[in-house]
Amino acid sequence: MNRYDTIYDVMVIGAGFAGMAATLFAAERGLKVAQTGATGGIDFSTGFLDLMAVHPVAEGRYWDSPWDAIDAVIAEHPGHPYARLGKDRIRTAMNDFTSFLQSQKLEYMGHEDRNTPILTPAGTVKRTYRIPRTAWKGTEALRDKAPTLIVDFNGLKGFSGRQIVEMQHKEWPRLKAVRVDFPGSFGELYPEHMAWTLSSPDRCKELADSIAEHAKDVEYIGFPAVLGLNDPVRTVTLLEELTGKHVFEIPTLPPSITGPRLRATFDRGLAPKGVCTFSQKMVLEARRDEDGLFSFLIGVPGDARTVRAKNAILASGRFFGKGLRAERTGVVEPVFGIPVTQPEQRADWHHPHFFDKQGHAINMSGIEVNDSQQPLDAAGKVLHDNLYAAGAIQAHHDWMRMKCGAGIAIATAYRAVEVITEKNGE
């Protein structure tokens, strides 16, 4: 039977955090899973897993405890996706997700009950819940304001050690930067190519030698996140041995390596679990037969095939992920035509100031779901009893401002799979 003839238990639409999480959880529960989706959110990710950090956004208030922040946000926004999940489930979902990554050599760190401050490539500090092990030492350096060297490279644009130092110099006087040539290259550099280069121990040695002089008086060395692709911990450990210092990574601007690392980890880890990935294919059309089976037309117009599944999880994201489409007359959900809760007119979508702390009203738009993560129609009724939605496509949150993107994606995906599994068991 080829992959187009199989009838899958679940079709996951989307290959971002929510799509990957849904696929993973479903496959781990023994369901036959198909997944579609193009390069998306996860490829542009810093690798940090945000749970919940800011509420209310208008005040820009950071929370140390994401769990307290979740309580607070639910109290004010009862429609927030977290309100339908329960903290225990969110915790389990996050742990299952990171355990899988750990099993694939992408180890995550973090405190059980609090967010951890960490540097961004702009030199700002953000708080997040789970951090790749390769970036973790950076949180210690930041916490202790330890003597630290940031290394950047001639040819890697958009990453300036000096910028980070300037942004931090008031609080962190013992932070300094150095710019060096990247081993074996000159001219313009791209993170993916750099990561391949640094998979070689010889290149790491060259790199360590080139910064040795500058690193004499520091305890930590921070690099842009280009330290290896498939097994970055090995590269970081090697650099620590070579330099005798603590080494950490700072994410870079897209195209970064932190996102592709996550993506590659899933590509590697999901296939052995029997997942059928229709890579880079988009769902053009969805049909539901009388017996409740979904038929999806996937591919590109003119070259599309049909895939059938008993259940579907819509994890297609927002505008960039193409889960929501902004038209001049309003926002629509293009695959199933699910009604989208949104401001009345386009003039109300965005705040006149981009950085206004209120955020933009359009970001609270999305589709409505019930406690089982099933999308609702305009009358508030379940649209299809075998359709679920996970991740940022749900309404009533602003993941960019509340810093809850990964958390919502992972926990809603977990819940959707849970409901599907329960139903299967009946």
Q: Which of residues 332-391 bind another protein (CB under 8 A)?
A: 345-347, 349-350, 352-357, 359-360, 362-363
The answer to the question of residue 151 lying near another protein (CB under 8 A) is: no
Stretch of residues binding another protein (CB under 8 A), selected from 3-11, 43-51, 83-91, 132-140:
43-51
Contacting residue, 110, 123, 132, 366, with another protein by CB under 8 A: 123
Least separation, in Å, of the C-beta of 245 and another protein?
24
Q: Which single residue is written with the structure tokens 């880890």?
A: 269
- List, in sequence order, the alpha helices (H) in 254-345: 258-270
Residues 10-39 that bind another protein (CB under 8 A): 38-39
The answer to the question of residue 3 lying near another protein (CB under 8 A) is: no
d(CA 84, CA 411): 10
| Bridge partner residues of 286 (DSSP) | 296
d(CA 230, CA 143): 28
User: Phi/psi at 329 (nearest 5 deg)?
Assistant: -100, -5
Stretch of residues binding another protein (CB under 8 A), selected from 1-9, 79-87, 247-255, 289-297:
247-255
Which CB atom, from 60 or from 274, has the smaller least distance to another protein? 60
Which CB atom, from 187 or from 380, has the smaller least distance to another protein? 187
The answer to the question of residue 121 lying near another protein (CB under 8 A) is: yes
Q: How far is CA 65 from the centre of its chain?
A: 20
Least separation, in Å, of the C-beta of 103 and another protein?
26
In our burial notation (b when 16+ CB lie closer than 10 A, e otherwise), range 109-119 reads ebeeeebbebb
Q: Which single residue is written with the structure tokens 């187009």?
A: 4
The answer to the question of residue 43 lying near another protein (CB under 8 A) is: yes
The answer to the question of residue 190 lying near another protein (CB under 8 A) is: yes
Which CB atom, from 86 or from 254, has the smaller least distance to another protein? 254
Contacting residue, 76, 328, 379, 380, with another protein by CB under 8 A: 328
The single-letter code of the amino acid at 403 is: K
- CB-CB contact of 362 with 388 (8 Å): no
The answer to the question of residue 192 lying near another protein (CB under 8 A) is: yes
d(CA 285, CA 201): 48
